[in-house]
Amino acid sequence: MKEPRVGFISLGCPKALVDSEQIITELKSEGYQISPDYDDADLVVVNTCGFIDSAVEESLESIGEALDSNGKVIVTGCLGARAEEITSRFPKVLSVSGAHAKDEVVSAVHKHLPPLHNPYTDLVPAQGIKLTPNHYAYLKISEGCNHRCSFCIIPSMRGDLVSRPIDEVMLEAETLAQAGVKELLVISQDTSAYGVDLNYQSRIWRNTTYNTQFHSLVEALAELGIWVRLHYVYPYPHVDKVIPLMAEGKILPYLDIPFQHASPEILKRMKRPAASENNLKRIQSWREICPDITLRSTFIVGFPGETEQDFETLLDFLTEAQLDRVGAFAYSAVDGAKANELPAAVPESLKKERLQRFMQHQARISAKRMQGKIGRQAEVLVDEVVAQGAVARSQADAPEIDGQVFIDGATHLKPGQWVQVEFEEADEHDLWAHLI
Ligand code: SF4
């Protein structure tokens, strides 16, 4: 008898990707076949994103396409928190659930496409099913967020912070490392707040007591001997404690810190966590301890009330901070966000103009920092091998969002291999290197 086949469309951020992986792992363990498109599927699951308007539009389009091509559609993910909007536009959708709703999705699949009776026909690897290549994986340490940034609706969709106890996280991390994963990307909405909801509860992993807490987690992950990269970290004073571990090479010297702005007035309007910290001073002290640290951040320009002076403060911050990797967006209103009620909206044309000025300003900084790498030697991780050579990443490059290292002619390398290279050329994002 043919196994039931589920088409799976996964949209949105790495956190949504981890939800998808968990749902797929469960379905595979029950004997379902998974396909990445709709055509030969018996039913389609669409994991949606609801972060910004363009993501909402993409999610709605995917639901519409799946209904047209397949007809049987289950919707889950962030946009699912706005169930009425989905069901009124697509009344034929079979079920709608919010983010982090594995059990609801799986029971909806059972209802509309019952599993075969032999659940052992398709054994699942111990590390679960990964949607990323075999050599790197996202490690989700918590769900939800205790902050209430005025431009963000994630807490209303995903709720307050719920951390996973440290032993549970470490068992998953260990299983991934044993399965050949070479790089773990730690994700959450607020990595530095990890464990606060559990009162930093102590747990045992490898016969040692660890607290469910940011610094303790980083120490435990450092034991695995693979690359560990920290995302979504806010610049609280306790973050300082992990910088020496980076300097000692125990975890990657890389921090992804979404600063979003630098003007105190705008940060206050944004209700950002750690808004009153002196970030420049903090960055300077991190670089004193770990000169090779790579700092990545994202910013929003044109937030309501942003004056020319606020914007200049932001550009000055970039000049001083000398960040390595920067992403920026022009502010766009998100349905349901508090920021929509703020006065003094910035006109669209001015937002665009500021975004352009911001990007040009940072491009010069990034390019200069990249030029500084030429002639240096480093370990890189190979992601793929193509006809011209190998495509790798350095410690300064997270997958998908940062740059790449191209090693011409190195077609004998394998994905997941660490190799030593010397950088010989750079542009503002990527590097070219030869093997040493
Ligand atoms: S920290 Fe702010 S932007 Fe990030 S998820 Fe929480 S509320 Fe949203």
Ligand 1 close to Cβ of residue 258 (< 6 A): no
Nearest to 326, CA basis, from 335, 317, 313:
317
Nearest CA, atom 5, ligand 1:
189
Ligand 1 close to Cβ of residue 273 (< 6 A): yes
Mention every residue, 6+ apart, whose C-beta is less than 8 A from residue 310: 261, 263, 265, 266
Amino acid (1-letter code) at residue 13: C
Ligand 1 close to Cβ of residue 383 (< 6 A): no
Distance 358 CA to ligand 1 centre (A): 23
pLDDT value for 331: 94
- Helix (H/G/I), strand (E/B), else coil: 65: helix
CB 72 within 8 A of CB 112: yes
Distance 3 CA to ligand 1 centre (A): 41
Angle of helix 214-222 relative to helix 166-178, nearest 10 degrees? 20
Model-level pTM? 0.80
pLDDT value for 64: 92
Ligand 1 close to Cβ of residue 79 (< 6 A): no
Ligand 1 close to Cβ of residue 153 (< 6 A): no
Q: What is the pLDDT of residues 250-265, one digit of tens each?
A: 999 999 999 999 999 9
Distance 148 CA to ligand 1 centre (A): 6
**Rounded CA separation 162/98 (Å):** 15
Atom of ligand 1 nearest to the CA of 189: 5
**Rounded CA separation 106/263 (Å):** 45
Under the banding of pLDDT at 50, 70 and 90, the label for residue 126 is low
Atom of ligand 1 nearest to the CA of 146: 6
pLDDT value for 120: 44
Distance 152 CA to ligand 1 centre (A): 6
**Residue to mutate (ligand 1; options 100, 140, 148, 189; most atoms within 8 A of CB):** 189
Mention every residue, 6+ apart, whose C-beta is less than 8 A from residue 377: 420, 421, 422, 423, 436
Q: What is the pLDDT of residues 134-186, one digit of tens each?
A: 899 999 999 999 999 999 988 888 899 999 999 999 999 999 999 999 999 99
Nearest CA, atom 2, ligand 1:
149
